[in-house]
Structure 1
Amino acid sequence: MSRYYQPAVRWGADRPAGAYPLAGGFCWFDRVTLRARGQVDRWITADAVPADVLDRLTRPRAPIAGMAMDRPQLMGILNVTPDSFSDGGQFAATKAAVAHALAMVQAGAAIIDIGGESTRPGAKTVPIADEIARVLPVITAIRAQSPIPISIDTRKAPVAQAAITAGADLVNDVSALGYDAGTAQVAATAGTPVCLMHAQGDPATMQQNPAYDDVLLDVYDYLEQRIAHATAAGIARDRIVIDPGIGFGKTLDHNLALLRGLSLFHALGCPILLGASRKKFIGTIGGDLSADRTSGSVAVALHGARQGVQLLRVHDISATKQALDLEWAINQGS
C-alpha cells in the first residue's frame, strides 16, 4: 500500500529546535500528515518519516533557469493569443507583448512565460506553424532587450525547439510531455528544464465532468509517473518542476482540495509551480466573475508561498510582489 507524507508547513523566524527545512528554503516543518488510500489520515512527527522521503522533503532544490528556489519566484504570464481566458488579444501584437513583458520584469517578475496556444476550457488546438509565428518574434525581441529567463508554454516539440533556439530557458508543458513524444527529447538534448503539469483530458474536453478517486493522491501519482517518464528520456530530476494543474480538469472542490494539500507535492523532490491566477473558481468564491480577479489571485498566491511553493505563475506581478514582500518582512524579520 502506498503511503503519502504531507508536511505541515510553517514559515517565519520562530522555528523550533528540531524542525526540518522544507526543500532547503524559507519554510519548515516538524509534523507530517500520513495518508493512505482508504485509511484515516494521522499525524506523525517528522522524525518518523522514512529517510528517503525525508531527504526529498528537505533537500535544497537546484536553481531552475538561473532562479534560486529558496524563496517564491514570480512567473509573469504573457499570452500572445487571441482567445486566452483572461487577456486574450491584449498582447497578440509583438510590440504590445514585448512592452508588457518588460513591464512585468520591471515590476518584479523573475521569468516570463510565453504561450501561443490558449489552454482555457474548450480551446481548440492551434497549428504548429501558427503557434511558432505567434511566439518566436516575441521571444526574439525580449531576448534582444533583456536577460530575463523565458519559459515557453507549449505542448509541441517543434514549438519548444524553435523557442529554445530563440532563447527560451524552460519548457512549460501542460500535458507533462504526454501530448507530443518529441518534446521530452527536445528538452533533454538542449538541457532545458521542464515543468510537468497535471491535466485530466485536453483543453477541449477537460471540464466535462472531471472525476477522481482522491484528487490529491491521484494527481500526486500522475506527477510521480511523469517525472519517471521525463528522467527516462534523459531530463535530469533537478531540472524538473511540477504543477498540480489548478483548473485543468478539476471542479471547484477539486481545486480547493489541491490547494489545501499543496505541501504533499514536496515529497516528489522537485520545485512546485502554482498557476491559479484569475481562474474561474476565484471569481466564483470571491463573488467577482469579471476578468479582474486580482485580490483573490493574490490571496491564493500567498497561500502557495506559505506552503513552500517556489514558482507562482501570475498575471498581476506588482500586486503579488507587494503582498509577498510584506509577508516576507513580517515573518522573516527582514
Structure 2
Amino acid sequence: MPEPLTPESRNNGELFVAADGLMNRRRDESEELDTLLHHVCVRSPGSWGLLYARSPVMARGRLHVRLEPFLSPVQPVIEDWHRFDADGAFSSAWLADGPKSLVPVPAGSCLDAALVRRVTEGCRMGGADAVLVQAGGSGTASTAWRPVAPGAAASELVGVCPLVVLAASDRQGAVLFSRPGYALVAGTAGFLEGAVPEGVDGGRARFGRYARVVGKWWPEVMGIARSFSARHISWARARDVPAGTGVARQVHLMRGLTTGSIGGADFARGWPAARRTSQNDGERLRDPLRTALDAVFSLLEDYSIDPDLKSPGDLSDRELTDAVREIVERTEGF
C-alpha cells in the first residue's frame, strides 16, 4: 500500500489539504489520517471537507458521522444492506436488526401520494435526511439506489409502478411495493411512528378490513392479511383489559388516584410511561374506554407536577382527582 499523500495547496486564496491511499484494513495509516483530520479541525475551525473512507464528514471545524447514500460501499454484492428473501419479502436478517416491525398497507396499481408520504414521514420522525429509491429491478443487490430529497419525493415518485423499494437513508425503515394491491412497511419504532401513525396493530387491523373488500380483485391480499394479523384485540371496557399491558397500567393508575393510594404527582409521572408502552406495543382501544383515556391525557396538560411551576389556571391535586373520578364513574365497564 502506498503511503497516504497529504500535499497542501492554495486555490483562490484558500488552503487545501488532500489525502489519498488504499487500505484493505484499518492500520496505522488510518489512525494517522484520523489524527490529521482532528488537527485540521482544531487549527482551522472554519474548515470543511469530505473523506470517503467510511470516516466522519467535516463541517464548520467539527467531525460528524454521516451515512453516504450516493456511493455504494465497496461492492454492493458484498455489502448490500437491503437483501430480500427468496419470496420477495424483506430480509429476515435486516428485520431482526433493530428490531423492526412489519405492517402491510393498502396500495393501488402504482405509487400514490399516501404511500410516498409513509416513507417521507418515517424519514422525518426517524431523522433520516434522504429517501433511497430502487425501482424497476428485481430487488437484488445489482439494482442501484437513487437518493431523493424527502420534499421532492411525491413529485418524483407518484405514478411509479412495482417493483419499487423506498428506504430511509439511515436504513431504519423501508416500504416494499412489489405488486399491486398492497405494500409492506417495515422499520424501527421511530420510523414507524411517522410511517404508520395508526400503530402496528392499528395498521394491521385496518389492512385486514381492506383485504376483505378488495380480496376478490387481488386474492393474494387475503393471505398477506392473515400473515400479519393484529397482535391485540381492541378493548372497549377496562374490565376486559388483560394484565401486563400499558392500558392495564393506565387503568390501575386511575383507580389508585381515585381511591387515594397514590397522589396526583405520582399519577402524572406514571401515566406518560404507561401510555407510551401502550402505543409502542400497538394496543388498540374502542369507545367508551378510548374516550376516557383521551380525556385523562387532556387533563394532565393542565396539571404541573412541580408546585413551584404551577400557573394560576392549573389543576390542583384535588381537582385532578375529582376530574379523573368523574371520568371513571361515567365510563361504562370501568
Q: What TM-score range do you get, normalising by the shorter chain?
A: under 0.3
Which structure is larger by alpha-carbon Rg, 1 or 2?
Answer: 2
Higher relative contact order (CA 8 A, sep 6+): 1
TM-score normalised to structure 2 length: 0.23
